Structure 1
Amino acid sequence: MDLQFVASGFAVGLLVGMTGVGGGSLMTPLLTLLFGVTPAVAVGTDLAFASLTKGVGTFTHRLRGTVHWEIVGRLCLGALPAAVLASLGLNHFGTLSHEMGQIIRYMIACSVMLTVVALLFKRKMLVWINAHPERQLQGAALRNATIVSGAVLGVLVTISSIGAGAIGATLIVMLYPRLTSAEVAGTDIAYAVPLTAIAAAGHWWLGSIDWSLLLTLLVGSVPGITIGAYAARAVPERLLRGILACTLMAVAVKLLYS
């Protein structure tokens, strides 16, 4: 078993446990930049990784009653068909080709930058939307906007493995500002389970999942997430998110210009 992948899984798990940010924005660029894993295989392996870890998180949130299943259904209505179509598109253009690898690499960079925006400005956006209740969507408009948001996330997650964490949570907060933080987290994780599972199945069909790498990452990430969850109370959240945002921005620039 390769210790560097175990250590990487532990480091990513630690940061996820401390910040709550989805592992895709950390793991996929790490595999691509540091270890030279092809973008398609990095995405496919991370999606399989996410579908397993988020399943455990959903069970916990369900027990706590912090999942809004109606919102989950609306998001899935847009995300799941979009994930299937994105998988078919990847198959059509050749997932493992050099040209498609470059496109996936750019999509990863764009998704990472969106994650940075979500990390830095989510609270300000929430304050603005609460200060302007007349701008909040209601009824059919809210339902349709949720479905469209799910479709956008479905494409992003399938192509880059990034989007079901910070980006998804930010969209939920903007559409449903009255939800508590726990409800946002629970709903975000719950819709991400079928999305990442279908996207991972698509990459399995495409042959872009490294199962031995997946197992090695899980060995490191499970204790990392556990320790990170306990350590989160001792480290200021704002400081952590600021450091993480700067790191992700540097990663995005590296992906674009390397």
Structure 2
Amino acid sequence: MWAIDPLYSLSGFAVGVIVGLTGVGGGSLMTPLLILLFNIHPATAVGTDLLYAALTKSAGTAMHGFNRNIDWSIVGTLALGSVTAAAITLYFVSKAGGSDPAFAHTVSLLLGVMLLLTALSLIFRRRLFGFVRNHRELPPRVRFAVTVAFGAALGVLVSISSVGAGALGVTVLMLLYPRLPVMRIVATDIAHAVPLTLVAGIGHWIIGNVDWHMLASLLVGSIPGILLASFFAPKVPERLLRILLATVLVLVGIKLVLA
């Protein structure tokens, strides 16, 4: 029988608190935390974090679905590109060999770049949103094609780095659907992350890149962390949290890129 590792649970709690307060940081913090603090192989960290994300975001999807905040047509359009791209990407990952040192370096490098992009999206999100609000929306057919293409890009990036479905997803959806309320965009992004991370996570499981003991220990800590932070979130300045999180992502991203 598995024993819960308190250090993993404490890490899960810390990340859960950040996710509960900001809505961002699951993959952006958990994967680099496992790589840098616990010296977990990058491929195993990514695979485990993907299933971790699928399980935790399923609860958020259920709640948003109950409150009818999700635009399921956008979820379907994104998934059309992302799920397909994730499956194709994982096929090539399995052929490349997840334990190869060169592949591990590539994962760390891509993860670092994704963290830097995520940090930029957090810093400039409001300015981008204000800019797009003053411009016309794309024609429906063009927007559909761009949404599918963006979903495919997310499928590749998330399958390799586990990062991108959160902050980057929300930012791009705000640009593509400027008239959609922010709450619906966030809820739609969370809902889309579930099939994407689930497919990618199962793919990594088949390859052998999932540590189930670590996953269970992380969930034991993260679920209470998310619930506790969600209660206090309205009392914490959102701008301060966004700046602090962006700063952490920049520092971690630079470390991974230069590693």
| Counterparts of 2:206 and 2:126, CA distance in 1 | 39
- Residue 32 of structure 2 aligns with an amino acid whose one-letter code is P
The one-letter code matched in structure 1 to 2:120 is V
| Residue 247 in structure 1 maps to residue 237 in structure 2 | no
Backbone CA RMSD of aligned residues: 0.8
Cα distance, 1:22 vs. partner?
Answer: 4.0
Corresponding residue to 1:97 among 92, 100, 119: 100
| Identical-pair percentage | 46
- Give the corresponding residue for 2:185: 184
1:62 aligned to 2:65? yes
Would you identify which runs of 4 or more consecutive aligned residues in structure 1 move more than 2 Å?
Answer: none
Partner of 1:230: 231
Matches of residues 84-233 of structure 1 in structure 2 within 5 Å?
A: 84-133=87-136, 136-233=137-234
Residue in 2 aligned with 1:31?
A: 34
In structure 2, give the amino acid aligned to 1:177. Answer: P
Q: Is the 8 A contact 1:13 1:223 kept in 2?
A: yes
Match runs of 1:34-49 below 5 Å: 34-49=37-52
Q: Residue 193 of structure 1: CA displacement?
A: 0.7
Aligned length: 256
Aligned-partner SS, 2:35: helix
Residues 181-221 of structure 1: per-residue CA shift (max 9 Å, x gap): 21011100111111000000110011000000000000000
Once residues 81 and 130 of structure 1 are traced to their aligned partners in structure 2, the CA distance between those partners, rounded to angstroms, is 31
Please state whether the residue corresponding to 2:179 is helix, strand or coil: coil
The equivalent residue for 1:80 is: 83
TM-score by length of 2: 0.97
Gaps of 5+ in 1: none
AA aligned to 2:200 is A
